[in-house]
Structures are given as C-alpha cells and as structure tokens.
Chains A and B, each alone.
Chain A
Amino acid sequence: MTARTLLGLAFAGLVLIALAALPFFAGPYAVTLMIGMTGYVVLATAWGLFSGPTRYVSLATVAFFGIGAYTVGVLSETLPYPLVLLVAALIGLAVALVVGLSTLRLAGVYFVIFTFGLAELIRQVVTWYEVNVTGTLGRYIFLPVTPEGIYWQLLALAAATFLISWGIGRTRWGLALKVIGDDEVVASHCGIDITRLKLALFATSAVIITLVGAIQAPRWTYIEPSIVFNPTISFLTLIMALLGGADRLWGPLLGAIPLFLLFEWLSANFPNHYPIILGLVFIAIVFLLPKGVLAALESRLGKGGAK
C-alpha cells in the first residue's frame, strides 16, 4: 500500500468521523436531510457498482429496496433487530442470485425491461401473499430506532459500500469488469468467466440496496407494497448515478448529493411546480452531461491542459 492510498484512507476516515458527529451539532431537520441523502448516496453507489462497469441499466433498485423494507415489516416483532437486518440481506442475496442466474445473459434494452418488470412482479407477489394468506396488507413497524440510529447505520453502510467498490477496482476483478464493459466477446475470449463475475457483482449491489430499504423502513411506521415498491426510487437512483458518472468510484456520490439537495429545495420552495422542474432537470442532464459530471470535468480540464 502506498503512502498516498494510506493518506486517502485516513482522510476518508476523518470525513466519516465528522459526518458521524453531525447529529450532536445540527438539529433534527439536518439529520432527516442527511438520512435521505446518505440513503440515496448508498443506493446510487451500489447501483454504479454493478451497472457502471457492466453498463447494464437496472431498474430493479426498488425491488430490492422493497424486499428489505418488507422483511423488517414482517419480522420486526419476532426477531431481534440485527438478525432482522441479516435475514433481509440474505433474502436480497437469494433473490439476486435467482434473478441474476436467469437474466444476466440478457443484454441491452431487454435487461432494462426485465428489471423494471421484476420490481412490479415482486410487488404483486407480496400483495397476493398478503391478501390471500395473511389477510392484511399493511404492516406496522414499531422499533425503538431513533433517526440518529438510522443515520449512523446508513453511514456505516455507505462506508462499507465505498470500501467494497474501491477494493474491487484494485483487484483483478476490477480489470476483468472493465474488459466486460468495453467488449463482452473479447472478455470471454480472454478467459474471463463473465457470468459468474456479473452475478457476484449484481448480488453484492442487490444486498446493499436491500439493506438500505431495511434500515430506512422503521421511519415510516406503516408500510404496504405501494409505499415500499415505489418505482420513483429506481428512477431517482438511476438519474443520480448517471449525473455523477456511474463508472467512477465517486461519481454516484457527486450525482446524488446535488440532486438530492436540489429536489429538497424544489419541494420546499416550489411544491406545486416540482414535477415540471424535475422533468426539465432530467432532460438537461441527458442532453448536457450524458457521461456524467466527472467525465465532463475531466474532458474540460484535459482540453484546458492541451491549450
């Protein structure tokens, strides 16, 4: 390990400590904001973990997010909280493996449509089960978790996600992923086991997303499928990761934070025009920054240097 990476790690650790200390200085509204923001940072980074290198656009974010939240809803009264989180992660993993095995051979737009359908499928299955087996649709979550507790859990999850993402980039896996992203045929000719690699990555990303849903669920007290399987979550995650640049470690972070703050500012100041402005922002991102903020910055700096 070079001195530079050590320095970087130390700096990241300091930032993490500063963020963790925030609830002691800032008011409850700041904590609420940070919960939302950290949640989306983790979602976007986890999304970028799989979709960045492989360029598979997944709209299944909310499927796993909802699985996590629902698991907490179902088990919060019967199991201790850490075990509930563990079970949620395991369910997310199992679903990701089944889905991954059956679909990662799909490519392009077929994969997008499949993942979008997956979220709807899981929502309908949960609804069907609740209607026909348990006879209730809503689930109550009465857990003694404070907003600060939720924030710290999300922060820890964010740190873990960045470590995983950074770690993968430094291994042979990271290299192999870059090859897959550039050309799958070449990758398979190089002897890379494409399917297994993609599956492992998809599963990792899915488990993290599941945990975000599970950690945030106690904030809502009451959940039902239409609340936790809200497709907006998938779209927001996607646009945040794209804005930042999904194939870079810090890209999703740089997309999630400004967009989250923008949405918050819009809904506080322009509650009645929010959907219109949101649509315009989406269009602007796609037209002006198709490769993300980081890539745009680099190309601009690069040009500046050439002059």
Chain B
Amino acid sequence: MKSVQRRHVLRVMAAASALLATGIAPGALAQDRTSVKIGYAISKTGPNAGGAGITTLPNYQLWVKDVNDAGGLELPDGKKLPIEVIEYDDRSTSEELVRAVERLATQDEADFILAPWGTGFNLAAAPLFDRYGYPQLAVSSVTDKAPDFVKRWTKSFWMLGGGHDYAGALAGIIKKAAADGTLNNKVAMVSVADGFGIDLVTAARPAFEAAGIEVVYDKTYPIGTSDFTPMINEAKASGADSFVAFSYPPDTFALTQQSQVADFNPKLLYLGVGTGFPIYGKNNGDNATGIMSLGGIDPANAENAAYRKRHEEVTGQGPDYWGSVITYASLQMLQEAIKRKGLDREAVSAELSTGTFQTVLGETKMEDNQLRTLWWTGQWQNGQFVGIAPADRAGASQPILPRQGWKK
C-alpha cells in the first residue's frame, strides 16, 4: 500500500514536471510574448570602433527602425512583434566579446544575435553562436577559409568573400588591359602589415604570377604609417603602369593626397579600405574618378539606390560602397526567414541556408552558406563607386582605363 502510494506520487510528479518542461511553458511564453529580443555586441569603443561605426552599427540601427516602423517582425501566423534591442560594447577586445555573446545567449535569452564586426571577432564568436544554436550572419569578415568554417559551424554564414576572390579579380582586370595594350604588365604594390593587408597581398602575389603580371615593387608598411612619399617615389621610378595599395582608411586617404602632391599618375590606381567610403568621393570629387578598390554597386539597381538614400536620412551618414549594403541585406534575409519559419532558430538557419530572398541586393541566395554574388572590384565613375568585376555579372560597369591624371 505504502509503496504503491509512493509510486503514484512519483508518477504524478514526473508527469507534472514533464508537462511543465515541455508543454505548458513554451505555450505560455508564446502567448505572453510582446517582443522579439535581438542582441548584438559590437566595438563601440577602441580601435575597431571606426570600421564598426561605418559598416555595421548604422545598418543594425536602420534595420531595427525600419522593422519597428512597419509594426515589427512578422511571424508565420501574420502577427507582428516589435524588436527589443540589447546592445553591448565589446570594447574591441575578444574576451569581452566572448563574454557579451555568452551573456546574450544565456542571461538575456536573446531570440537572435547579430554578428560582431571584423574577421577575428566573428571567429571568436563563432563557437558560441554554434554551441547555443544561433545563426551567425558574418558580413564584415574577409576570409578564404569560409568553406572550412561552414563545415565546422553549420549555422555560420560568410558573406564578404576572401582575399583570393578580390586579388584574382584585380589580376584579371590588369591582365586584360595589358593584353589590350592599355597598360604594361608591371605592378607596384604596397600593403599594410595588418590582417587585411597581409591577407590580400598573400593572395595577390600568386594571382599576379598566374596572370603573367610582373610585380616590380612589393613593400609592406607598418600600421599607422603617415608618410608614403618614399614608397610613392619608388613606385613611380619602378616603371609600373599599375599601383596597388592594400591599405587601411587613413593610409588610403594619405596615399591619395600624397600621390597628387608627388604628381604620381599610375594608369591604374587601386587603393584599399576607405576608397568606398562616401566621404572619399566627396573629398576628392572629380579626382576620385577612375580609382579602383574592393566592392562596388550596380548603379542601375533602384532598390539599392533607395536604401542608400534612406541610410543617409536615418543615420545621418551615407553607407560605404562595400560591406554596408551586404550588412543590410543579411538582416533582410533574417527578417524574411523569421517571417517564413518563426522564431525557431534551427528552422531559420536552414531557411537562410537554402532559401531565396528578395533584398536590396536583388535576388539573394547563399551558396554553401556563403554569399558569392559580390562585386570583387569597383571603380569611381561619375560620382558613384560602381562594380566592374566580375564583368559577366548583370549590372557590371565597364572599367575606365587608363585613369585620368590628377586635376589640380
């Protein structure tokens, strides 16, 4: 009698707790839910704040505003829930980022977490996104290892290509122009001794060699260099028609100024990060025309043009011509995947991986969890930074070569 009672009690308790754990709790939550929690940790202070503040953060803010102005995130049942933002500053340190993402996942119980800024930071966060089952839409990270990463972290998406893509496209442009006789097949090349510069230059050396292009000058400079005159003079004396700099924004601006002062007029001028900033076009006006870099846009894409206008109105600054629009598109993909699949992260990740989405980029689709339809090379033409490679992509502009000389 006694034992039966105990068993009975145990059974009731087990049933009750099982019900509580699986049945009642989520149902109650879904009904009580008044918002969708979207969290992110980003470098608002420290050395990475500059890049994050141009490419990533304004787009996160713009997207949240766009969604909430429209009534919120739409779920499969047609209900709309406003976004509740949880924002942390990783202060440009990996350890802080790791802790913030862990906090978002376990303490704040965010429904979705947006990716941090930078290659290293996306990698530092990737194991956590994976462990807690969040899809990671990593935009601002250029890496050739994306095919390995998507196998390791199946819910990670890499959306800005790798160094080989950009270097290969540039080599293709120079090779073609050299074959036409527009340029000679010599290149002078400088690169910043930091992540981006090293990645690109390591990819560029074999790419140029394979294209039969001779690198006559190849110099690496430390981060923070401000005087480029010696390099410019040596590049000028090297006899190369093409000058390539895998540079960071301050270097890009300095190289532009100092090349004008030194009257250095390479027929092809390719500069690194910063060339695609709207301020670059504004500062250099007509002189920007013909300068090449990474990224670009299709000037005929009306949706993209509307996005650029809205970005400037809402955030007070224009988007850059490389990662910005991809960042916004990645958020639109997330939004659409939630509309199709709800807040189930597993299903949303699967949808992101296989679905086709209509975004500011046009029709967008992942290939092997990577965005591959990108502009590898762009050029300033008529006050816009337009995509010129891959040349066979719809909307590609024709490269203008040789570049006009500096107007003073």
Known: A131-B193, A220-B124, A267-B91. A136 touches B202 (CB 8 A): yes
Q: Mark B86-128, 1 if CB is under 8 A from A, else 0.
A: 0111010111101110110011000000000001100110110
Asked whether B47 is an interface residue with its Cβ less than 8 Å from the other chain, the reply is: yes
B312 on the interface (CB 8 Å rule)?
A: no
Complex interface residues of chain A between 212 and 229 (CB less than 8 A to chain B): 216, 219-224, 226-227
The verdict on A181 contacting chain B, using a C-beta distance below 8 Å, is no
A29 partner, pick from B87, B103, B198, beta carbons under 8 A: B103
Please tell me if A184 contacts chain B, counting CB pairs below 8 Å.
no
CB distance from A242 to the nearest CB of B (A): 21
- CB-based nearest A residue for B94: A220
CA distance A138 to B198 in the complex (A): 9
Main secondary structure, interface of A, reads helix
Given contacts A137-B194, A268-B88, whether A216 and B95 have CB atoms under 8 Å apart is: yes
B103 touches A224 (CB 8 A): no
A227 contact set on B, CB distance < 8 A: 93-94, 120
**Residues on A with beta carbons closer than 8 Å to the beta carbon of B259:** none
CB distance from A127 to the nearest CB of B (A): 6
Q: Indicate if A140 sits at the interface (CB-CB under 8 A).
A: yes
A230 near B: Cβ within 8 Å?
yes
Report the nearest A residue to B221, measured CB to CB. Answer: A131
A136 to B102 Cα, complex, angstroms: 29
- Does any Cβ of A come within 8 Å of B44's Cβ? yes
Chain B's interface: helix, strand, loop or mixed, by majority?
helix
Q: How far is the CB of B44 from chain A (nearest CB, A)?
A: 7
Q: Is A171 an interface residue (CB 8 A)?
A: no
Size category of the B interface is 20 to 34
Contacts of A272 in B (CB 8 A): 44, 89
Query: How distant is A147 from chain B, measured CB to nearest CB, in Å?
Result: 9
Complex contacts, A223 vs chain B, CB 8 Å? 94, 120
Query: Within B33-82, which residues are at the interface with A (CB < 8 Å)?
Result: 44-45, 47
Bound complex: CA of A279 vs CA of B310, how far in Å? 37
On whether A136 and B198 interact (CB within 8 A), knowing A131-B220, A222-B120, A224-B120, the answer reads yes
Name the A residues within 8 Å of B98 (CB-CB). 32, 219-220
Given A36-B99, A216-B95: A140 touches B123 (CB 8 Å cut-off): yes
Cβ B193 vs Cβ A267 within 8 A:
no
Contact indicator A222/B124 (Cβ below 8 Å): yes
Q: Is the CB of A29 within 8 A of B91?
A: no
Contact residues in B for A222 (Cβ distance below 8 Å): 119-120, 123-124
Q: Is the CB of A220 within 8 A of B91?
A: no
Closest Cβ of chain A: how far from B115's Cβ, in Å?
14
The answer, yes or no, to whether A121 is at the interface (CB within 8 Å) is no
User: Which residue from A130, A226, A264, A268 sits with its C-beta under 8 Å from B198?
Assistant: A130
Q: Is A195 an interface residue (CB 8 A)?
A: no
Binary B-proximity of A121-146 (CB < 8 A = 1, otherwise 0) = 00010011011100111101010000
Contact A132 to B220, CB < 8 A, known contacts A222-B123, A226-B47, A267-B100: yes
A28: Cβ under 8 A from any B Cβ: yes
Q: Verify if B195 is at the interface (C-beta below 8 Å from A).
A: yes
Q: How far is the CB of B392 from chain A (nearest CB, A)?
A: 31
**Does any Cβ of B come within 8 Å of A275's Cβ?**
yes
A182 to B102, CA, bound (A): 46
A80-122 interface code vs B (CB 8 A; 1 in, 0 out): 0000000000000000000000000000000000000000000
- A267–B91 Cα distance when bound, in Å, is 9
Q: How far is the CA of A264 from the CA of B100 in the complex (A)?
A: 9
A275: B residues at CB distance < 8 A: 45, 91
Indicate if A304 sits at the interface (CB-CB under 8 A): no
Measured between beta carbons, the chain A residues less than 8 angstroms from B45 are 274-275
Does A221 contact B123, Cβ atoms closer than 8 Å?
Answer: yes
> Which 9 residue pairs spanning A and B have beta carbons closest together?
A222-B123, A29-B106, A220-B94, A271-B89, A32-B102, A131-B193, A220-B124, A137-B198, A135-B202
